[in-house]
Amino acid sequence: MAEQSPLYREMVAAGDDDDAPQRVRVERRGDRAVVTLDEPRRLNVLSAPLVRQLRRALTDLDGDPEVRSVVLTGADPGFSAGGDLQMMNTAIDRLGASEGAADIWRWIRREFGGIARLIAGSDTIYIAALNGAAAGVGLAWALTCDLVIASERAIIVPAFGRLGLLPEVGTSWALTRRLGYQGTLAYYLRGEHLDARAAQRLGLVQEVVEHARLAEVADEWCARIAAMPAHSVAMVKPLLRAAADANWSDAVTLEEFAEPICFTTAAFADNVRSMLS
């Protein structure tokens, strides 16, 4: 393994400090789990401890075959304010070091991007429950999830343009597929906050609910997942993610290879026989 650069190593060490406060709460309930970003005083800003703790928590859940769905949310009043400006300022001060921008690249790719890749690549269904403002990488993680539901208090914050940054950690992919090129460019240039209903009209969230019912509705989605045959939910996620980037012919081919596997499962056989009886 290549030697880690000084700044990246320092940020990882700060995130892994045993004395750092817990910034992520995990609640397991049988086949589902709720993961809460928990630094409400700072609107769940993505500090080094929060990022590293979240990555460990999601890795642990991904390795548990009993967990079929994960709800990702924030401690009120926000989902996540995005990147930690204090960390950014430290990085700016260190850009003249020997590693230069490669230090920032390592953190963005291995930590921010590592969490996004884990969410996208897992067979587990991830549900983002937006309870308040979602910005930056926090928004990117939400858009990477398989479903996004929102409290009426949720706000989508396109903060990157005003900071002189670009859409990050998969946000450009998610937005162009929902808004198209021109819609995404307009969204970036305007930099306007979107309330939950506006986000729903644009296809960024699938459901908007009363704030007090957000956890309940997220759990209802988990119950839908639990009620379906385990193999079908696990298989449909990679199929649909691949189909989203495939042409029609390739999408049909993917389905043709996947469907026969389902025919061999006991769940399918039992359902067919039940419908015939």
Q: For the chain, what is the domain count?
A: 2
Rounded CA-CA distance 126/82 in Å is: 19
Q: What angle do CA 271, 275, 277 make, to 5 degrees?
A: 115
Q: Half-sphere exposure (CA, 13 Å, Cβ side) for 207?
A: 17
Final residue in a domain of this structure, among 227, 245, 265: 227
Does residue 139 lie within any of the structural domains? Answer: yes
Contact indicator for 206, 149 with CB cutoff of 8 Å = yes
Range of the domain at 175: 6-227
**234 with 222, same domain?**
no
- Asked whether residue 84 falls in the same domain as residue 176, the answer is yes
Residues 172 and 40 grouped into a single domain: yes
Position 1 pLDDT exceeds 90: no
DSSP string, 21-44: PP-EEEEEETTEEEEEE--GGGTT
Convert the pLDDT of each residue in 141-199 to its tens digit. 999 999 999 999 999 998 777 778 788 889 999 999 999 999 999 999 998 899 999 99
Q: Which residue has the higher pLDDT, 240 or 92?
A: 240
33 and 143, same structural domain? yes
Nearest CA to 195 out of 256, 154, 223 is that of 154
- Local confidence band at 255 (pLDDT 50, 70, 90 cut-offs): confident
Examine the domain organization and report whether 183 and 215 are in the same domain: yes
pLDDT of residue 256 exceeding 90: no
Whether residues 189 and 84 share a domain: the answer is yes
For residues 231 and 238, give the distance between their C-alpha atoms in angstroms, rounded to a whole number.
12
Which tens digit of pLDDT belongs to each residue from 82-132? 877 777 676 666 565 555 677 778 888 889 999 999 999 999 999 999 999
* DSSP output for 209-258: E-GGGHHHHHHHHHHHHHHS-HHHHHHHHHHHHHHTTS-HHHHHHHHHHH
Same domain, 193 and 234: no
CATH number, position 65 = 3.90.226.10
Q: What is the tens place of the pLDDT at every residue in 36-89?
A: 999 999 999 999 999 999 999 999 999 999 999 999 999 999 999 987 777 767
Whether 194 and 243 share a structural domain: no
Number of H helices, E strands in the chain: 13, 9
Q: Is residue 1 part of a domain?
A: no
Amino acid at 206: Q
Tokens for 232, please give them: 């079908």
Are residues 55 and 128 located together in one domain of the fold?
A: yes
- Tokens matching residue 55: 């990555």
- Among 146-150, 249-253, 273-277, the range with the most confident prediction by mean pLDDT is 146-150
Q: Quickly list H helices, 28-168.
A: 48-62, 85-93, 101-106, 113-121, 136-144, 160-163
**Shared-domain flag, residues 139 and 237:** no
